[in-house]
Structure 1
Amino acid sequence: MLRSFAVSFLALTVALWALPGTQVTRGAESVAALAVGVLALGALLRPFLTRLTVLTGVFGLLLAGVLAQALVLWLALELVPTVQPFSVLEVVVVSWGAAVAAAGVNWLVDASSDEAFLGQLLRRAARSTRTPGSEGTGLLVVQLDGVSEPLLRQAVTSGAMPTLSRWLRSGDHRLRGWHTGVPSTTPAGQAVLLHGEVAAVPSFRWWDKEAGRMLVCNRPADAAEVERGFTDGRGLLADGGVSVSNLFSGDAPTCHLTMSRARLPGSEPGMARFATARTGFLRSLTLFAGQMLTEIHQGRRQRRRDVVPRVRRGGTFVLLRGLTTVVLRDLNVSVVAEQMTRGAPVVYVDFVDYDEVAHHAGPSRPESMRTLESLDRVLAFFEEVASRVGRRYEIAVVSDHGQAQGPTFAQVVGRTLTEVVQELAVRSTSATSDVRPVEPWGPATLLLESGRGHGRLMSRAARTVASGSGGVPRLATPAATETDPASLVVAASGCLAHVYLTDLPGRLDRDAVEGACPGLVRSLAEHPGVGVVLTRDAAGVLRVDGPHGWRVLTPGEEPAGAGADPLAPYAGDPAADLRELETKHHVGDLVLLGRCDPSLDEVVAFEELVGSHGGLGGWQTSAFVVHPTGWPLPLGRALTGLEVHRAMVARLEQHGLRRTDPGGGTGETGGTGDDRDERSARLPA
């Protein structure tokens, strides 16, 4: 209290001094009275502001965060007669000048650390709990988006993640790898981890021939449509669980910042507390500005040192980095701590800090690795909360995919993939595309779309600005020409691209593609930016073409072909991954993989991202799970996503947190292979 008074007194003194004219009649005495009034009114009004934020969603978060300080100062001025009345503009200027100054002083005193912020959340959780552990066991699943298993091992052994290192070295947890296959993307990873679904998602974005439009998984309406197509209502979080900052809901009854539920209004007390906390929102704004300056400095340093490969890191990414690594992270921590305090049986939260920075800086670059240090502190905080609240939470840490570094397609050949496809198509094909990076805009979309109509208006405005600066693209609709009705759409997701002939129904075989665009397959296969072109014949047999040869991928047989094996540069079992991709819905008529350099494990990205994923090469298919010892998982090999999902469901059953399905089963969404096939059959092929 003394510190808060001192900081408020100094901040108000500076703010009042900056205004023209004489504002106070008794000098320091008047300022002190005003500081006391601001602190007292802030404490009294905070419950009301919290409820206001709950009622108005994300718009209320912004309203409370921006206007609360002005409202409190205005009321304090009415109660302190020795301070001259201000105009509305002066109230706003003084309140926010004082707030920024106070946040800056607090930030400096706390040595720019997270201890004060996390300490407040921990004290709140402890005060709300009568008897720690009295409610039984719960499960908290923390997803570190985009972190590969080899990179995590490196971070643990190098000392960058001491909390995770302690868990593993003590024997309380085990680190296992799981293989994502293709696509190695967040939508595919969360579909299987949260829902046990393996067939519905072919990429981060794809063309739906029946609907005649592009589906992009960081659009709330598209994410909701995709989830409706495969959910059976018995996802991982179905029985009282909470989804925080995910693409899909896991059928959770409580969702915060979840893309597939972003258009649904609802009360979010964790967000409200974060918005109205004196050291929460203001601290995040201060660190947000610091992260933007850090990003500008690090981008310039890469250019000065001529670090390659690299991409442009200015513009909208400066804003996005601050949002994801500060505002969204702090908000996620606040909401999860709130739900743990309330005793939610299972919570699943996704932190995108590393994935966001690695896309633009590089997967193993210093600034990307530093995000893992802050995420490790978050794990330590959750561990402490778990020891203080009613449930004794088991904590599991997972990732949805890894990343591979490499140059972009445009850097290698000087043109975009769509331009190349247009030029190589022999016939006059009208080609459109969606190849600008949209995944990094997911966190911003979550923040803007999670409220009521105001949030969606703000999101549309943000997208309008971004569309003119290389951000979220406006999608063009393919238009057929009178001379040639065939239309090509290129849907790129990192180093994976699906090419569709949109006016011909269904998945086309190689002969049909050749009939529409003679020579296109061979020309793409020989292109320096493309590593593999995948097609199939009328009987469904897959063929891969590369720059110096081709192979037929027949299961259980020696692959037939000629020349060099196009899949040789890709580690693991790429043939099996591509055969698995063929079983998914909405696969392109042609599937392209970026060229892989096995000497450096670098992969050419079809988007303007130096760290990419989606296809094959590097560490992008090597995800991980860190689980408490004793989980029912097979040993001696890399796991599948479905095995990880089933293990989490089984753990909930062991703790009595999984409701028995009315049909007599346990309600596991993975089910049998036949169950998944039947559910997937409801999706349009």
Structure 2
Amino acid sequence: MAVSPHEPPPAPTTRDRGAELRALLSWRRILNRLRAVLRSGLVTFVVLTATLWLMPGVASADIVDTLGLVLLVAGVGAVLRPLLLVGVVALGGWGAMLLGVIVQIVVIVVALEIDPANRISGLPTLVVAAILAVIFAAILDWMLDSGTDDTFVKEAKRLMRGVRRRSARQAGGPFLTLRRPRPGTEPGLLMIQFDGLSEPVLRWAVRAGNLPTLGHWLRSGSHTMRGWHTGLPSTTPASQAGILHGATRQIPGFRWYEKETGKLIVSTRPRDAAMIEPRLSDGRGLLRDGGVSIGNAFSGDAVVNLLTVSHAALPGRSARGWAAFMASPYGFTRALVLGVGEVITELHQARLQRRRNLLPRVSRSGAFLALRPASMLLRDVNISLIAEQMARGAPSIYCDLVDYDEVAHHAGPARPESMRQLESLDRMLGVLERLASEAARRYHIVVLSDHGQSQGATFRQRYGETLDELVERLCAGSPPMVVSSGNLSLLYLTEFRHRLTRAEIDRAHPRLIPGLAAHPGVGLVVVRDEDGPVVFGTSGVHRLRDNTVEGVDPLLPYGPHARADLLRHQESAHVGDLVLISCVDPVTEEVAAFEELVGSHGGLGGWQTEAVLVHPARWPVARPELDGPDAVHFQLVDWLDMLGLRTRSLVADAEAAALEDEPRLSRTRDG
């Protein structure tokens, strides 16, 4: 019988307790624990031997003495790590991150300090030795795992069992609670977003056999894959505004200018995201009924927000997944060490592109060198946070994983470096599958993306000047604001406080619209006219409202959705006086990004508007064609409703809202 999430679980019987004890003392569990202890001891022995050998002035590296030191490290770790973990949990946020690294070093320093052989003395030398030992341990553990995630999974399962034990004690249950969820447990929904992944790229990777987890789901028939159209703008904040809140039209681009306040808004800047969210939220978001938001731009009205940009805070004291990851030797410290390897890998891959003269390409130095290890660290943190919430039994979880998107921007969406990141994300799905046995619910998994990416040489690379420089030339030094998102640009004439029409722009800057439309790098110039929005191209004009075309239709290279996308975008809040879309090659579908990115998204053209949704095959789909993030939102809500995870359906909400509005409308009609 299923247990309602709103009622306390039934008290365990004597038979239950006996089963739990037998499970705890089973030979398999004992052997697994012995194997883990032996591996830990071997790693510690090798690491300490290497560290002592490298340290100058060490009197001896006797094997017996080193074995004794291994026992000391184990003993000190058994005493100090739980105490330090309490401190990590208490600090939360940045404190957890800093103390998490210190935990590993302190254990080694204390063990070396009390070592009877007294081979290393002096605090500075002890600290250096401890840091070396921690680095060697991280590298050796990675080598022993042979690229697998076994150790990560074991640590995550240990965390989940601890969360379940604490939850049982808080609920008044016995201290020993290791019972796994029964088949009748209430379902939950886990939604994993692969940021920036287009449906064609995913389909190709599955067919190539490079994604064993997703490939198995699709080939076995447990899941099915369908594409969905993102519309304009094809950016993460706009898509998540739709997916999480059903409010895409509040966001006209990744960045935009608000004439009323004179502010440039960057939607991934925490203070701006916090300002935007009230515009999106009506209290009926995707995650409103006890859901959890992890690593997203907005909350979806979640009860728990972890690394959500609009909430602008690191996880606090209540998030043991954050603290456990930071304090574990297989967590933050390992990620830092392996992150150095990612930087070296990035430098090598960028050099290969240059040597082979691979085009198009952009610079992969500077801030991007820090982004690669940071995205890997964030991925592991996010999976740890998901594991904790699965153990707590959160009814719905939505998490954004950004690894692929970050690399594809600089390497190209289908290049080997990007495929490597996609393969690592597929491994994370396998990790979540393996963690399901420790979850408090029977979780269904949905995988989706928020947009795709389109490749191409940038506008500056092709034409020798940036779009800003072109606009400045055409406006003769007047103050326009050019705000770009991939191959989408919003142009604002800032000397005016309102959105301008075509006639007003022509009077102020007669060369601007004709000059932009004639440029080979600008495919579309959209402006508001007296009878609605008009699109200018190099050889024709398309009036969007009545769908009339003069000359060659400029929308032809942008696909069948272009007219509807542009009409919908023109209704967005704070859209520019002019909306520009770069040219697109009709053969290769390459675009000319207005930013220095070889893989870009934000506008139209290529695969950037072709997102993907992978879901259980037997689930009903109310809308055969998912057009826009808002449509995905309603589909996900339907599934939550089907699983019994919505306290009230959106239909009921809409009816209630209509009833609330009726007295006000009646009063209006009555005068």
Do they fold alike, i.e. is TM over 0.5? Answer: yes
Is the partner of 1:313 in helix, strand or coil? Answer: coil
Residues of 2 paired with 1:343 and 1:72: CA distance? 33
The number of aligned residues is: 609
In 1, the alpha carbon distance for the partners of 2:417 and 2:190 equals 27
Confirm or deny: 8 A CA contact 2:242 2:633 kept in the other structure. yes
> Given the superposition, is the C-alpha separation of residues 571 and 665 from structure 1 closer, same or farther in structure 2, using an over 3 Å criterion?
closer
2 CA distance for matches of 1:349 and 1:594?
31
Q: Residue 560 of structure 1 aligns to which amino acid in structure 2?
A: V
Q: Does the 8 Å CA contact 1:70/1:92 hold for their aligned counterparts?
A: yes
Shift of 1:506: 2.2
Per-residue deviation at 1:329? 1.1
Shift in CA distance, 558/85, structure 1 to aligned 2, threshold 3 Å: closer
Change (3 A) 1:278 1:109: same
Separation in 1 of the partners of 2:371 and 2:313? 21
Identify the match of residue 118 of structure 2 among 56, 74, 83. Answer: 83
Measure, in 2, the Cα distance between the counterparts of 1:14 and 1:384.
Answer: 34
* Residue 289 (structure 2) pairs with residue 300 (structure 1): no
- Is residue 21 from structure 1 mapped to residue 57 from structure 2 by the alignment? yes
Query: Is 1:583 aligned to 2:618, yes or no?
Result: no
Using a 3 Å threshold, how does the CA distance of structure 1 residues 231 and 599 change in structure 2: closer, same or farther?
A: same
User: Aligned to 1:174, what secondary structure does the other structure show?
Assistant: strand
- Could you tell me which residue of structure 2 aligns to residue 157 of structure 1? 207
Partner SS for 1:232: coil
The answer on 1:516 being equivalent to 2:542 is no
Q: Trace 1:67-466 onto structure 2 (pairs within 5 A).
A: 67-83=102-118, 86-122=121-157, 124-125=159-160, 128=164, 129-133=178-182, 135-263=185-313, 266-267=316-317, 268-324=319-375, 326-426=376-476, 428-429=477-478
**Secondary structure of the residue that 1:569 maps to in structure 2?**
helix
TM-score norm. by structure 2 comes to: 0.86
**Alignment map for 1:562-577 (pairs within 5 Å):** 563-577=551-565
CA–CA distance in structure 2, aligned partners of residues 204 and 50 of structure 1: 39
C-alpha separation in 1, matches of 2:569 and 2:438: 45
Residues 5, 35 of structure 1: 8 Å contact kept = yes
Deviations 1:356-375 (Å, cap 9, x if unpaired)? Answer: 11100001111111222111
Question: In structure 2, do the counterparts of structure 1 residues 265 and 288 end up closer, same or farther at CA, with 3 Å as the change threshold?
Answer: closer
**TM-superposed deviation, 1:58:** 3.3
Change in 2 beyond 3 A, CA 1:107/1:668 = farther
CA contact (8 A) 2:235 2:451 kept: yes
**Alignment correspondent of 1:489:** 481
The verdict on how the C-alpha distance between 1:639 and 1:94 changes in structure 2, with shifts beyond 3 A counting, is same
- Indicate conservation of the 8 Å contact 1:236/1:669, yes or no: no
- TM-score calculated relative to the size of structure 1: 0.85
**Following the alignment from structure 1 to structure 2, what is the Cα–Cα distance between the partners of residues 670 and 366?**
51
- 1:658 and 1:222 map into 2 onto residues whose CA distance is 29
Structure with greater helix share of residues: 2
Q: CA deviation at 1:123?
A: 5.2
CA 1:390–1:558: 2 relative to 1, 3 Å = closer
Structure 2 counterpart SS, 1:65? helix
The match for 1:465 is: none
Deviation of 1:126 after TM superposition, in Å, equals 5.8
Counterpart of 2:667 in structure 1 is none
Q: Which among 499, 523, 532 is matched to residue 531 of structure 1?
A: 523
1:656–1:582 distance in 2 versus 1, CA, 3 Å: same
Deviation at 1:39, TM superposition (A): 2.1
Tell whether 2:551 aligns with 1:559. no
2: CA distance, partners of 1:404 / 1:15: 48
Letter of the aligned partner of 1:15 in structure 2? T
Residues 125 and 536 (structure 1), Cα distance of their counterparts in 2 relative to 1, 3 Å cut: same
- SS of 1:199's equivalent? helix
Q: Go from structure 1 to structure 2 and tell me whether the alpha carbon gap of 1:37 and 1:588 turns closer, same or farther (over 3 Å shift).
A: same
Q: How many Å separate the matches in 2 of 1:213 and 1:294?
A: 39
Contact 1:179 1:621 survives alignment (8 Å):
yes
Cα separation, 1, equivalents of 2:538 and 2:92: 53
Q: Distance in 2 between matches of 1:656 and 1:491?
A: 43
Cα deviation code 1:21-55 (max 9, x no counterpart): 2456x843433333222222223322333332233
Q: Which residue of 2 aligns with 1:473?
A: none
Q: Is the 8 A contact 1:343 1:390 kept in 2?
A: yes
Range that drifts further, 334-343 or 5-14:
5-14
- Structure 2 residues not aligned, in runs of 5+: 1-36, 165-177, 665-671
Moved more, 176-185 or 68-77: 68-77
SS across alignment from 1:620: helix
Contact 2:113 2:121 in 1 (8 A): no
Superposed, 1:512-661 pairs within 5 Å as 512-539=504-531, 541-554=532-545, 557-561=546-550, 563-634=551-622, 636-660=624-648
Do the aligned residues in 2 keep the contact of 1:195 with 1:670 (CA within 8 Å)? Answer: no
Deviations 1:53-72 (A, max 9, x none): 23333322332233222321
Partner of 2:28: none
| 1:121 Cα deviation after fit | 2.0
Match of 2:76 in 1: 41
Q: Structure 1 residue 422: deviation in Å?
A: 0.5
Larger mean Cα displacement after TM superposition, 215-224 or 51-60: 51-60
* Residue of 59, 62, 75 corresponding to 2:94: 59
**Per-residue deviation at 1:315?**
2.2
Other-structure match for 2:492: 500
C-alpha distance 509-23 of structure 1, shift in aligned 2 (>3 A): farther
1:412 Cα shift? 0.9
Q: 1:536: how far off? A: 0.9
Q: CA deviation at 1:658?
A: 1.6
Paired AA for residue 521 in structure 1? I
Contact 1:288/1:322 (CA < 8 Å) preserved in 2? yes
- Aligned AA (1:653): D
Q: Aligned in 2, Cα 1:170/1:666: closer, same or farther, shift over 3 Å?
A: farther
Q: For 2:521, give the aligned amino acid.
A: G
Gaps of 5+ in 1: 430-486, 679-685
1:478-520 per-residue CA deviation (whole Å, 9 max, x = no partner) reads xxxxxxxxx2111100110000112312221111112222210
Structure 1's 283 and 613: CA in aligned 2 closer, same or farther, altered over 3 A?
A: same
1:629 deviates by: 2.8
- CA, structure 1 residues 519+666, in 2 after alignment: closer, same or farther (shift >3 Å)? same
1:228-271 Cα distance to aligned partner (Å, 9 max, x none): 22212221111111111111111112111111112477322111
Per-residue CA shift, 1:522-547, capped at 9, x if unaligned?
A: 101111221111101134x1111112
- For residues 161-202 of structure 1, the C-alpha deviation after alignment (integer angstroms, 9 at most, x for no partner) is 222122223332221221111000001110111111121011
Assess if the C-alpha contact under 8 Å between 2:101 and 2:333 holds in 1.
Answer: no
AA matched with 1:549 = G
- Which region of structure 1 is more displaced relative to structure 2, 63-72 or 193-202? 63-72
Aligned amino acid, residue 68 of structure 1: V
By how many angstroms is 1:665 displaced? 6.3
Q: Which moved more, 1:623-632 or 1:409-418?
A: 623-632
Give, in whole Å, the separation in 1 of the partners of 2:334 and 2:535: 53
What is the deviation of 1:118? 2.4
Aligned partners of 1:530 and 1:593 also within 8 Å: yes
Aligned-partner SS, 2:558:
coil
**Matched-pair contact (CA < 8 Å) for 2:199–2:227:** yes
